[in-house]
Amino acid sequence: MPQILSYCLNFVQKKHLPSILKICEEQLGNGFLAPDLLASYLDHPSKYCHVVLLDQQVIGFSLMEISPRAQIAQKMKQAEQWFLDYFSAYDNIGYRSLTAVSKEFEGKGVASLLVKEGLEFLSSKVDVVVGDAWKSEHTHIGSILERNGCQALKEVPHFWTTESIQQNYHCSFCGAPPCECAAVIYARF
């Protein structure tokens, strides 16, 4: 894969936000990522956004954070109590919340680069990194996570249903709310 050498991995800057929102909308559905939530990654001490640039253009991104176990557990929706119990030995946890790549760069190693580098970055700061991954035949993030040392721990059906209704976002697979997609919770220890 010699093409990977031309990719540049960086942290998000304000000028990248419109491109990130566009990628997110095309890949995950209209309204999936709120602009103000994305902007919070610019200067937050424990939130991180990696971007992959090609000729100064954003072609993919990952959102990550390091937070107390209880805060990450809330993001696990109906698996919150399971999460609190399963990860009871950990105070702070790394969380990979989202990775998306522009359609024209799918299958070119961008998501693999983001996952690998993001896991390394978070693993250098905490003992466990978790993520929830879309389960779909159209999505390959689970296999990328597994290649990078993550274990699938729990499948959660209808993971985004309530959120899709509350935020009225249109899932790129289900269409208008409710989103009925399942998620798989992964961890790398």
pTM: 0.88
Q: Are 115 and 144 in contact (CB under 8 A)?
A: yes
| CA 133 to the chain's CA centroid | 7
Q: How high is the mean pLDDT of the chain?
A: 91
Q: Are 82 and 154 in contact (CB under 8 A)?
A: yes
Q: What is the 3-state secondary structure (H, E, C) of 1-64?
A: CHHHHHCEEEECCHHHHHHHHHHHHHHHEECCCCHHHHHCCCCCCCEEEEEEEECCEEEEEEEE
Q: What mean pLDDT do residues 113-129 have?
A: 97
pLDDT tens-digit series, residues 161-186: 888 888 887 777 888 889 888 899 99
CA angle 20, 41, 112 (to 5 degrees): 55
For 68, phi then psi, to 5°, come to -60, 150
Strands 47-54 and 182-188 turn out to be unpaired
* Percent over 90 (pLDDT), the chain: 72
Tell me what pLDDT residue 137 has: 65
Looking at the chain, how many residues does it have? 189
- Cα separation, 71 vs 14, in Å, equals 26
Asked whether the predicted pLDDT for residue 135 surpasses 90, the reply is no
First to last CA, the chain: 28
Residue indicated by tokens 């990719």: 7
70 or 27: which carries more pLDDT confidence? 70
- Cα separation, 100 vs 143, in Å, equals 15
